Amino acid sequence: MKREKKRSVGFYAGFILFVLVALVNVYPMVFSIFCSFKGNLEIFSSFTSLPKKLRIENYATAWNIGNIGRYFLNTLILAAGTLLVSGLFGAMASYILAKFTFKGKSKWYLLFIAGMMIPIQAVLIPLSYIFGKLGIMNNYPVLILLYSAFCFPMTILILTGFMNSIPTELEEAMVIDGAGIGQVFFGMIIPLSMPGIISVSIFNFIQVWNNLLFPLIFVSDKNKGTISMGLLAFFGEYSTDYSASMAGICLTTIPVIIAYIFFQEKIENGLMSGAIKG
Amino acid sequence: MRKGKAMLSVALAAAMTLGSAVPALADGDKTKVVFMSRDSGDTPIAKVYEDQIARFMEENPDIEVQNDSIYEEAAYNNKLKVALSTGETPSIFYYPAIAGLTEWAQNGVLLDLTDSLDADQEWKDSFLDGALETYDLSAYGADGIYALPNELNVDAIFYNKALFEKAGITETPQTMDDLYDAIDKLVAAGITPFGVGGKNTWVMGHIFNNILAKRIGREGIIKLGTGEKKWTDEDVVECLQITKDLKEKGAFAEGFEGMDYNTQMNQFLTGEVAMISHSSPIIPEMLNSESEILDDISFFPFPYFTDKEEFKDTHVVYTSGWMISGTMSDEEKEATLKLVKYMTTKDAIQERMDAAMRVAPYKDIDAPEDAPQIFKDMVEYTGTISDSVGEYFDYDTCSTLVDTSRNGILNMMLSDTAEDTAATIQADIDANRPQ
Amino acid sequence: MEKIRKNKKIIFIFLLPAVLIYLCFEVIPVIMSIYFSFNDWPGIQAIPLKFVGLNNYKKLFSNGVFLQSLKNVLIYMMISVVLQVPIGFGLGLLIHHFKKWQRFFKAAFFIPMILSVTAVALLWNFIYFPTEKGILNSFLIKLGLDSLVHQWLVDPKTSLICLIIVSTWTSVGYYMIICLAGLTSIPDSVLEAGSLDGATGWKKIRYLYIPMLWEPLKMSTIMVITGVLKIFDTVYILTPTGGTGNSTIVPALLMYNEAYRYGHYGTGSAIATVIFVLSAFVSIASLKLMNRRESIEY
């Protein structure tokens, strides 16, 4: 389906402008990388200058102090679990809320959406009260369920929106062909909602990745710490070691960016080939 | 509510069994002690504590110490407050308050250390004279000693000798008039006198606190805290005005209201500004940096006012303490006190000073021979202090005062008058100080 | 099919896991928190709750700082909706056009979203730095606009808008992704048809893209609204005290201070409840408003 289009001068001007805007936007990341190679005083003497020499040792410090290797893996496990639980159960609930009819449906929907309005700090004390009573601190399955609970509102908001726009005729055709509800859901609804699932998963992933409050309160076992807890270690007594903390930030961010870029292409290709409609 | 909570628990427990594994089991029959300080990460003092705890556990295999220290303030605060709310108070923890501890003391959150101290006279005697009285809360309605003073942070003005010389200042300022004079000379020489990270409101707050100490003395500050004195009193407003006037005299860097304390430190360490007001723990931090002016750094005590000579020797010293949980079993209490004593033996305190240049309120601790001169001077200066006072809000039970007053002072530096600032602070106290 | 759509068993099985997790970990704690808001509690387990009725709310609404925080957050919300959604979707549409560099563009606009709050704060501190050394100020000087140089985060006139810009910078990337996801799910044939009809420029956006992307647009708006009303991190890190003369104070920051700094847990919970009710009200209102327009089915 190739289409030839005449490109106007305006198009190219716009394109170049856009490239510039994008570069300005990437600059902060570049800035962080620069800072991660500088010394502390050097950062402050001029914010934007190039590092005088490459201090690789900042990275060594960051890796050791922040326990980055271990925490990276821990956070990955938590994030993967959360994406699975919130993605699957969220999609199931969204399907019902989008396509089924029953009494009180809109109330359930609103109840889920209402979760987006809750500041995390507001529920910390009640939550820790319950967790403490039940003795379920330092427990990853529980943490995954907790993260998932806070991911559901967004997941359900987005997925119901997507599923709403899937034509009902497609489902009906499958049912007439003799498919069960499981086949309809996994065979058609899930693939068709993939763009939504991916975009909400990206969002949820970032939430889990950067979340500091939950692990801080509910994880006391040092071996079970997360990336965000590791980054806290860079804040020293009376001054912050900016160079090491920037190195730590780069160590934890760059893999995510790389993964994101890779991930994105794979998914898009998958979508193209697997597209049912059209 | 009780029934409701029980039902919640049942519902939650049901959910747990659906999706979760068995909770991790605690370590056999070891007694657990939770140590939670603000010293964590890569700092020398954090390493000293870490080492001491490790050695303690080796010597006491039946005790397990969990070090939950976090430096970052908000993170520490969250964790501590959640722990207190659920009754899981850490065995040993830090909290920046004195009068503010009263409610916890009255409700059994904190251990009254009077008996434990009396039972071990040698330990009790190792503290500097008067140090233990810091946490005696009887004036606020809770009889007893509710924390162990653990560290002394002595306020002083650190200055850059080379820049002073360049501006033609030959003597370090003794009186405020000397200081004003020095400021004028520095400004005339094109040097910014003070680096101030106003965005971190404690920086201006500390400068004000020094002025307060030198004008109304320890007793005045305590009266302010107990309500006998008001912020709108003439002498307090005057202190606010003096603080504000420093800006008019050109004492601070341009734009200081929006800078943070890291910037302030770096301005000082790169020789951009001539002075900073800070306290003793900054010395090792400075020495650890790659600054090229380290040899030029020295300090002098905050100057006094010639019309208030009676408070010449009142010095600002911030004491931080270790609070001990009041809700532990006898076994845990015993283990906790054992750890505390282990970490406060003469050797342990000396270790802190040697490795991390920390000054603790204990007798007979000397700076090591090979310590840098500035640190030796600081230890000597600390030894000469007999009349000290902490932060004004330490003596007030109003928990909002710390923020209201510090924000108020920063707003005053920007635009508000001293009178309005005093009125705002007093109004907040009237509304929020527990009766 | 209609029979299946009413099948109670299927509905129950599909909803149950999400509902159960959600109830246990979010709804119940929130209900407890609302309950706390009618009580005085210093946040210590040893002290029981003391029922005080609406006292905490009465105190709040007679507190000038709280009212200021409501005003700030509403301004924050309105400007954010006007900025974030259109910019995010504009980026999405543009990127959809520029097939060639798509990967680069997507990453470029999405990166701020992935950065940790610490990194973002550090960075913008340097940009808004109050002296001529600051990145923004030095840039203005280079442009010869010396008169514009000032203390961005300190001046009450600029501080709030500065924070809004930071929020916008970090989150437009996400709305861009939502827009792209929406575009991917529109069959090419529909877009082709739209182009063949000769619709161009604004007309194309107005009559083709906006109706097509109505659902994602609606979602994004709700997300901006609810996200802003509970905003905490950005404000706390860039203006920890809530700004000069409370120019950037927001309810979540006040709530944090009341509960975690001053030990007024009842008041803190009351603020949380107000945030919750306010965002429920605003988002339901905007949902209603946006539902009036039917999206195009294809």
Phi, psi of C239 (to 5 degrees): -135, 80
Question: What is the Cα–Cα distance from C86 to C207, expressed in whole angstroms?
Answer: 16
Residues 6 or more apart in contact with residue B150 via CB below 8 angstroms: B94, B319, B320, B321, B322, B344, B360, B361
- Enumerate domains of chain B plus CATH numbers: 26-152+319-382 (3.40.190.10), 154-316+390-432 (3.40.190.10)
Among the partner residues C32, C262, C265, nearest to B400 by beta-carbon distance: C262
pLDDT(C32) > 80: yes
B40 to chain A: which residues are within 8 Å by CB? 232-233
β-partners of residue B320 are B151
C191 to chain A: closest CA residue: A278
Cβ separation of C257 and B403 shorter than 8 Å?
A: yes
Q: How confident is the model at residue A116 (pLDDT cuts 50, 70, 90)?
A: confident
pLDDT(B9) > 70: no
Q: Which two tokens stand for residue B397?
A: 């039970």
pLDDT(A87) > 60: yes
Q: How confident is the model at residue B112 (pLDDT cuts 50, 70, 90)?
A: very high
A132 to chain B: which residues are within 8 Å by CB? 86-88
> How many of the other CB atoms lie within 10 Å of CB of B141?
11
Q: How confident is the model at residue A239 (pLDDT cuts 50, 70, 90)?
A: low
Q: Are residues A26 and A113 in the same domain?
A: no
Cβ separation of C10 and A112 shorter than 8 Å?
A: no
Q: Which residue has the higher pLDDT, A234 or A141?
A: A141
Q: Which residue has the higher pLDDT, A4 or A7?
A: A7
Provide the 3-class DSSP secondary structure of residue C252.
helix
Half-sphere CA count of B36, side-chain side, radius 13 A: 26
Rg of chain A over all Cα atoms, to the nearest angstrom: 23
Q: How confident is the model at residue B28 (pLDDT cuts 50, 70, 90)?
A: low
Residues of B with CB under 8 A from a CB of C: 1, 8, 11-12, 15, 18-19, 74, 77-78, 81, 84-87, 103-104, 107-109, 199-201, 253-260, 263, 327, 399-400, 402-403, 406-407, 410-411, 414-415, 432
In a domain, A2, yes or no: no
Cβ separation of B107 and C261 shorter than 8 Å?
A: no
Q: Which two tokens stand for residue A90?
A: 């969220």
pLDDT(C296) > 70: no
Tell me which residue has tokens 């900016």. A242
User: What residues of chain A, 137 to 196, have a C-beta less than 8 Å from chain C?
Assistant: 145-146, 148-150, 152, 154, 156-158, 161-162, 164-165, 167-168, 171-172, 175-176, 181, 185, 192, 195-196
Amino acid identity of A9? V
Q: Are residues A33 and A113 in the same domain?
A: no
Provide the 3-class DSSP secondary structure of residue B42.
coil
pLDDT in tens, B305-321: 999 999 999 999 999 99
Rg of chain C over all Cα atoms, to the nearest angstrom: 23
pLDDT(A94) > 90: yes
Q: Are residues A24 and A129 in the same domain?
A: no
**Mean pLDDT in residue range A17-42:** 81
**Mean pLDDT in residue range B375-397:** 93
C226 to chain A: closest CA residue: A117
Q: In Å, how far is C72's CA from the nearest CA of chain B?
A: 18
Work out the burial of residue B41: count CB atoms within 10 Å of its CB; fewer than 13 is exposed, 13-18 middle, 19 or more buried: buried
pLDDT in tens, C123-164: 788 889 888 888 889 889 988 888 888 889 988 899 999 999
Q: In Å, how far is C53's CA from the nearest CA of chain B?
A: 15
User: Do residues C210 and C224 touch, judged by C-beta distance below 8 A?
Assistant: no
Q: In Å, how far is C157's CA from the nearest CA of chain A?
A: 25
Q: In Å, how far is B422's CA from the nearest CA of chain C?
A: 15
Mean of the per-residue pLDDT values for chain C? Answer: 85
3-state secondary structure chain A: CCCCCCCCHHHHHHHHHHHHHHHHHHHHHHHHHHHHCCCHHHHHHCCCCCCCCCCCHHHHHHHHHCCHHHHHHHHHHHHHHHHHHHHHHHHHHHHHHHHCCCCCHHHHHHHHHHHHHCCHHHHHHHHHHHHHHHCCCCCHHHHHHHHHHHHHHHHHHHHHHHHHCCCHHHHHHHHHCCCCHHHHHHHHHHHHCHHHHHHHHHHHHHHHHHCCHHHHHHCCCHHHCCHHHHHHCCECCCCECHHHHHHHHHHHHHHHHHHHHHHHHHHHHHHHHHCCCC
For residue B345, the model assigns a pLDDT of 93
Give the range of the structural domain holding residue A228, as residue numbers without chain letter: 68-239+246-274
Tell me which residue has tokens 């007309």. C203
Q: In Å, how far is B167's CA from the nearest CA of chain C?
A: 23
The reply to whether C108 touches chain B by the CB within 8 Å rule is no
In eight-state DSSP terms, residue B232 is T
Tell me which residue has tokens 């400007």. C79
Provide the 3-class DSSP secondary structure of residue B241.
helix
Phi, psi of B56 (to 5 degrees): -60, -45
Q: Are residues A96 and A42 in the same domain?
A: no
For residue A180, the model assigns a pLDDT of 87
The reply to whether B13 touches chain A by the CB within 8 Å rule is yes
Q: Which two tokens stand for residue A247?
A: 């190195």
Q: Are residues A233 and A105 in the same domain?
A: yes
B153 to chain A: closest CA residue: A238
Q: Are residues A84 and A15 in the same domain?
A: no
Q: How confident is the model at residue C292 (pLDDT cuts 50, 70, 90)?
A: low
For residue A135, the model assigns a pLDDT of 76
For residue C13, the model assigns a pLDDT of 92
CA distances from B173 to A93, B180, B305 (A): 72, 9, 11
Mean of the per-residue pLDDT values for chain B? Answer: 90
Cβ separation of B1 and C35 shorter than 8 Å?
A: yes
Interface partners of chain C (CB pairs < 8 Å, 3 or more) are: A, B
Q: How confident is the model at residue C194 (pLDDT cuts 50, 70, 90)?
A: low
Cβ separation of A123 and C8 shorter than 8 Å?
A: no
For residue B426, the model assigns a pLDDT of 97
B86 to chain A: closest CA residue: A129
Cβ separation of C130 and B259 shorter than 8 Å?
A: yes
pLDDT(A150) > 60: yes
Q: Which two tokens stand for residue B183?
A: 């400021």
Half-sphere CA count of B389, side-chain side, radius 13 A: 27
Q: In Å, how far is C199's CA from the nearest CA of chain B?
A: 51
Q: Which of A135-149, B17-31, B130-144, C18-32 has the lowest mean pLDDT?
A: B17-31
Residues 6 or more apart in contact with residue A180 via CB below 8 angstroms: none
Say what the ipTM of the complex is.
0.84
Among the partner residues B9, B40, B291, nearest to A233 by beta-carbon distance: B40
User: Do residues B30 and B63 touch, judged by C-beta distance below 8 A?
Assistant: yes
Cβ separation of B266 and A41 shorter than 8 Å?
A: yes
pLDDT(C25) > 60: yes
The reply to whether A41 touches chain B by the CB within 8 Å rule is yes
Cβ separation of B255 and C154 shorter than 8 Å?
A: yes
How many domains are contained in chain A? Answer: 2
Q: Which two tokens stand for residue B63?
A: 């005790």
A25 to chain C: which residues are within 8 Å by CB? 108-109, 111-112, 169
- CA torsion sign for B367, B369, B372, B373 is positive
In a domain, A61, yes or no: no
Q: How confident is the model at residue C298 (pLDDT cuts 50, 70, 90)?
A: very low
Q: Which residue has the higher pLDDT, C265 or C199?
A: C265
User: What residues of chain C, 201 to 220, have a C-beta less than 8 Å from chain A?
Assistant: 215-216, 218-219
Q: Are residues A151 and A234 in the same domain?
A: yes
Q: Which residue has the higher pLDDT, C4 or B197?
A: B197
A195 to chain C: which residues are within 8 Å by CB? 181-182, 184-185
Q: Which residue has the higher pLDDT, B334 or A34?
A: B334
Q: Which of A76-80, A184-188, A222-226, B251-255 has the lowest mean pLDDT?
A: A222-226
pLDDT in tens, A247-262: 888 888 888 878 777 7
Q: How confident is the model at residue B16 (pLDDT cuts 50, 70, 90)?
A: very low
The reply to whether C111 touches chain A by the CB within 8 Å rule is yes
Cβ separation of A135 and B23 shorter than 8 Å?
A: yes
User: Do residues A250 and A203 touch, judged by C-beta distance below 8 A?
Assistant: no
B410 to chain C: closest CA residue: C244
- Enumerate domains of chain C plus CATH numbers: 64-291 (1.10.3720.10)
**Mean pLDDT in residue range C201-217:** 79
Q: Are residues A182 and A268 in the same domain?
A: yes
**Mean pLDDT in residue range C97-121:** 77
In a domain, A63, yes or no: no
Give percent of chain C with pLDDT exceeding 90: 32
C244 to chain B: which residues are within 8 Å by CB? 257, 410-411, 414-415
Q: How confident is the model at residue B299 (pLDDT cuts 50, 70, 90)?
A: very high
In a domain, A183, yes or no: yes
How many angstroms from the chain centroid is the CA of residue B418? 26
**Mean pLDDT in residue range B332-345:** 95
User: Do residues B276 and B194 touch, judged by C-beta distance below 8 A?
Assistant: yes
Q: Are residues A93 and A194 in the same domain?
A: yes
Give percent of chain B with pLDDT exceeding 90: 74
For residue A155, the model assigns a pLDDT of 93
pTM for this predicted structure: 0.87
Give percent of chain C with pLDDT exceeding 70: 93
C218 to chain A: which residues are within 8 Å by CB? 161
Residue/partner pairs of A253-256 with CB below 8 Å, 24 or more apart: A253/A29, A253/A32, A253/C114, A253/C115, A253/C116, A253/C119, A255/A72, A256/A209, A256/C114
pLDDT(A272) > 70: no
User: Do residues B92 and B323 touch, judged by C-beta distance below 8 A?
Assistant: yes
Q: Which two tokens stand for residue A167?
A: 């034509």
Question: What is the Cα–Cα distance from C39 to B316, expressed in whole angstroms?
Answer: 39
B84 to chain C: closest CA residue: C44
The reply to whether A16 touches chain C by the CB within 8 Å rule is no
User: What residues of chain B, 78 to 107, have a C-beta less than 8 Å from chain A?
Assistant: 78-79, 81-82, 85-88
**Mean pLDDT in residue range C214-221:** 86
Q: Are residues A179 and A253 in the same domain?
A: yes
Q: Which two tokens stand for residue B97?
A: 């308050």
CA distances from C266 to A1, C43, C59, C73 (A): 62, 9, 11, 22
Q: Are residues A32 and A75 in the same domain?
A: no
For residue B107, the model assigns a pLDDT of 92
Cβ separation of B266 and A44 shorter than 8 Å?
A: yes
Chain B interface disruption, residue of C262, C265, C267, C269, most B CBs within 10 A: C262
User: Do residues B336 and B90 touch, judged by C-beta distance below 8 A?
Assistant: no
Question: What is the Cα–Cα distance from C256 to C16, expressed in whole angstroms?
Answer: 33
How many angstroms from the chain centroid is the CA of residue B360? 12
For residue B6, the model assigns a pLDDT of 47
User: Do residues A100 and A130 touch, judged by C-beta distance below 8 A?
Assistant: no
Question: What is the Cα–Cα distance from C106 to C92, expressed in whole angstroms?
Answer: 9
Instruction: Decide which of A55, A77, A94 is a domain's last residue.
Output: A55
In a domain, A218, yes or no: yes
pLDDT(C294) > 70: no
Q: In Å, how far is B237's CA from the nearest CA of chain A?
A: 30
Q: How confident is the model at residue C247 (pLDDT cuts 50, 70, 90)?
A: very high
Amino acid identity of B144? G
Cβ separation of C262 and B432 shorter than 8 Å?
A: yes
pLDDT(A2) > 70: no
pLDDT(A67) > 70: yes
Q: Are residues A106 and A204 in the same domain?
A: yes
For residue A132, the model assigns a pLDDT of 75
**Mean pLDDT in residue range B55-75:** 90
In a domain, A229, yes or no: yes
pLDDT in tens, B222-260: 999 999 999 999 999 999 999 999 999 999 988 898 888
**CATH number for A260:** 1.10.3720.10
Q: How confident is the model at residue A277 (pLDDT cuts 50, 70, 90)?
A: very low
A127 to chain C: which residues are within 8 Å by CB? 25, 29
pLDDT(B25) > 70: no
